[in-house]
Amino acid sequence: MEVTYIIGHKNPDTDSIASALAYAELKTMQNERVIAGRLGTLNEETKYATRVFDIEAPLLLNDARSKLRDIDFDEPTFIRQDESCNAAYDKIMATNNRTLMVVSDLDDRKLLGLLSIGDLAKIRMSDKSFLNLTDLDTLSEDLKTTFQKRLFEPKFDGEVVFFDEKIDLNDLEDKIVVVDHLLGLDKLKGKKMACVILTRNIQEDVDLDTNILSSSLDVISISRLIYEAFPIKGIMSKDPICFNENDFVEDVALKIANTRFRSYPVLNQKGDVLGSISRFHLFKFQPKRFILVDHSMRSQSINYLDKAEVVEIIDHHHIGDVETTKPILYRNEKLGSTCSIIYRMYKENGLLPSKAIAGMMLSAIISDTLYFKSHTTTPIDRKIAQELAGLAGVDLDKYAHDLLDASVSLKDADVETLINQDLKRYHFDKYEIAVSQTNYSNLEDIQARLEEFSKALALKQSNERIDLLIMMFTHVLGEGTMFIYYGPLSSLMPGIIQREFNDHSGFDQKIMSRKQQLIPLLSDAIKTQL
């Protein structure tokens, strides 16, 4: 069963992380193969929740493209470089693998070269006159064991000839002579040959001053064995084109398109051979599958989402711009948290989340609704939170305050880190708007660092040419949001927020949700301006 990754949005908040974990648990209960993922580091609030409920963060992902390790490739067939062409033929016929991986030792998967059936075919199809055994260090074991009776230790070193009545006897010196019959065998007496091979179990009762071997094979089989007894290191392809298991499939496909080899080795980081791929594997591979939770916009999702397959979307925000090629499960409800939707899906299937997952889901609802202070809160969210608190074994009110307190990090955190850790980008026609959000408990904490934030935001807006860059500081108990903003569209803000401090800051007692309150207001303001 193919694995499916469940991911929330970039710069993940607690709802994004908890939704991925919760939906992964639900899918696992339904015997589906899934992995929860995340698209960034956990914020302080989410870290607190994972510590309380002793749960690991989802797998960190940053690219939706498939890598070679994600696809099924052929298991390698290994052969030592000192094995013969005969042995190579046997392995190819036994495994149906048309390319062998050549190594120095079968216990060591470091690649020395490749041997294809085409390389072996050259031996059988070529002119044999250029072949000799002169430079062989040792004769391959499969050839040695072919001969049933060894009169002397053979000296296999020289050119091979096949004896017949027309042969020039003066050409036999220091050569390996293959004899297929007894007729004329006496003519070989006194000749200084390297070796004589007798075929068809000929009785070697002739006294020859040389090494003599006999075999039950005929002359044609003997000749093939001799000429294919060469170690494959002499004909293998050295320095082959190799790929790493972490290479992207589409990059590999482009490189393979410009070459004409049958098979390409796949190596791991240590250089060990894992297998081989061919054009066939690249044509049939299936892209990675993703379920999106807590978002439906490409700009907020994993990089290269268009190279993958989106199979489901579970979200509580406005419908975004993610497109699919076929119908999918798309569940969108007007609730305060994506985890509220997922909890309803548990109940609809007659299931309940585990204690740890219940705690994470509760944390998400508390976070996204600012403990029910946000206008996005519904009675359903409140009811679900009460049930989840019971499943998680915590006091709802106490845990909510502890969680929200953990989210406040204005005093010690780096300004640029706070701006970027929960920054989301939106596009309206030709305009780009970016909004970051963090929590605070005392307005004095913001005022103490107001100049730092203003300078950092102004610089980021200028460098990235964002039409409107906004920083939202939202009170943990829902008492309102302070805004700092820069960019050409800053003139829109006085018409949206209740109170303007100066040209770049203001406050609103009611706006606490970025996606469900601020962004719709900005969208309407931009449409009016256009």
Tell me, what's the pLDDT at 409?
67
Are 377 and 336 in contact by the 8 Å Cβ rule? The answer is yes
Residue 370: both structure tokens together: 């600012």
pLDDT band at 148 (very low <50, low <70, confident <90, very high): very low
Residue 220 sits at φ, ψ, to 5 deg, of -65, -45
Are 192 and 209 in contact by the 8 Å Cβ rule? The answer is yes
Portion of the chain with pLDDT greater than 90, in percent: 46
Could you give the 3-state DSSP secondary structure of residue 334? coil
| Residue 445 buriedness (CB in 10 A; 0-12 / 13-18 / 19+) | middle
Portion of the chain with pLDDT greater than 70, in percent: 90
pLDDT band at 87 (very low <50, low <70, confident <90, very high): confident
Residue 486: both structure tokens together: 């820069």
To the nearest whole number, what is the mean pLDDT of the chain? 86
Per-residue DSSP letters for 207-265?
--SS-EEE-SS-HHHHHHHHHT-SBGGGTSEES---EETTSBHHHHHHHHTT---S-EE
pLDDT band at 151 (very low <50, low <70, confident <90, very high): very low
How large is the average pLDDT for residues 106-115? 85
How large is the average pLDDT for residues 141-153? 46
Give the dihedral sign, CA 211/213/218/221.
negative
Tell me, what's the pLDDT at 126?
59
Identify the weakest region by mean pLDDT among 27-36, 46-55, 175-184, 338-347.
Answer: 175-184
Residue range 381-422, pLDDT digits in tens: 999 999 999 999 999 999 998 998 887 667 777 898 889 888
Tell me, what's the pLDDT at 124?
67
Residue range 328-358, pLDDT digits in tens: 999 999 999 999 999 999 999 999 999 999 9
Residue matched to tokens 């990675």? 288
* pLDDT for 529 beyond 90: no
Residue range 9-45, pLDDT digits in tens: 998 999 999 999 999 999 999 999 999 999 999 988 9
Tell me, what's the pLDDT at 152?
42
Tell me, what's the pLDDT at 428?
87
**In this predicted model, which residue has the larger pLDDT, 413 or 145?**
413
pLDDT band at 130 (very low <50, low <70, confident <90, very high): very low
Cα gap 302→9, rounded to integer Å: 7
| Residue 263 buriedness (CB in 10 A; 0-12 / 13-18 / 19+) | buried
* pTM for the whole structure: 0.70
Residue range 507-525, pLDDT digits in tens: 999 898 888 889 999 999 9
Using only C-alpha atoms, what is the Rg of the chain? 37
**In this predicted model, which residue has the larger pLDDT, 129 or 417?**
417
pLDDT band at 142 (very low <50, low <70, confident <90, very high): very low
Residue range 475-489, pLDDT digits in tens: 887 788 999 999 999
pLDDT band at 197 (very low <50, low <70, confident <90, very high): confident
Residue among 342, 332, 334, 333 at smallest CA distance from 362: 342
pLDDT band at 131 (very low <50, low <70, confident <90, very high): very low
**In this predicted model, which residue has the larger pLDDT, 451 or 197?**
451
Give me the domains of the chain, ranges plus CATH numbers.
4-66+288-407 (3.90.1640.10), 78-124+233-284 (3.10.580.10), 132-229 (3.40.1390.20), 415-529 (3.10.310.20)
Residue range 259-317, pLDDT digits in tens: 777 788 999 988 889 888 888 877 778 899 999 999 999 999 999 999 999 999 999 99
pLDDT winner (highest mean) among 71-75, 147-151, 372-376, 467-471: 467-471
Residue matched to tokens 């293959």? 178
